[in-house]
Amino acid sequence: MTDIQTRSRLMAIGLAVVAAATVLAQAGGDQPQGTPPTPPADEPRIARLKSDAAADIDSMKVFSQQMVDSVFSFGELGFQEFETNRYLIDILKKNGFTVEEGIAGIPTAFMATWGSGKPVLSLGSDIEGIT
């Protein structure tokens, strides 16, 4: 499976999760208070997508831990995360992201985007929270 196929599959899973969460949140009013709603059974295609996404995530476990360990080892002060900034931006660019640096006038702030079209999904992280 290529990186693009993996990313496409993960994007599809993300959209499916968002859609399912929206439907479940809207349907939650019909449930007695304190009783969690029972989600509908997954269609075979959705179950396969979830399984594939979980396998892809599990395959990145070691890489993810190495990233956290690296960021933690830099131990930089807020607004001075220059090693952390370069490390994360290099990883994002190697994985096909477009990175805009110096966001909001902060030299170490950045915004990474991948793909095009809509919907646009956003993830945020406070890397200072790791150190």
pLDDT in tens, 32-74: 567 777 778 888 888 899 999 999 999 999 999 999 899 888 8
- What whole-number distance in Å separates Cα of residue 18 and Cα of residue 68? 26
Distant-in-sequence, close-in-space partners of 96: CB < 8 Å, separation ≥ 6: 3, 4, 7, 114
**Whether residue 14 is found in the same domain as residue 49:** yes
By the 8 A CB rule, do 122 and 66 touch?
Answer: no
Tell if the pTM clears 0.85, that is, is over it.
Answer: no
Q: How many independent structural domains does the chain possess?
A: 2
**Whether residue 115 is found in the same domain as residue 86:** yes
Range of the domain at 11: 3-30+40-59
Mean pLDDT of the residues in the chain: 79
pLDDT at 24 over 50: no
What percent of the chain is predicted at pLDDT more than 70? Answer: 69
**Whether residue 13 is found in the same domain as residue 53:** yes
Residue 20 lies in a domain: yes
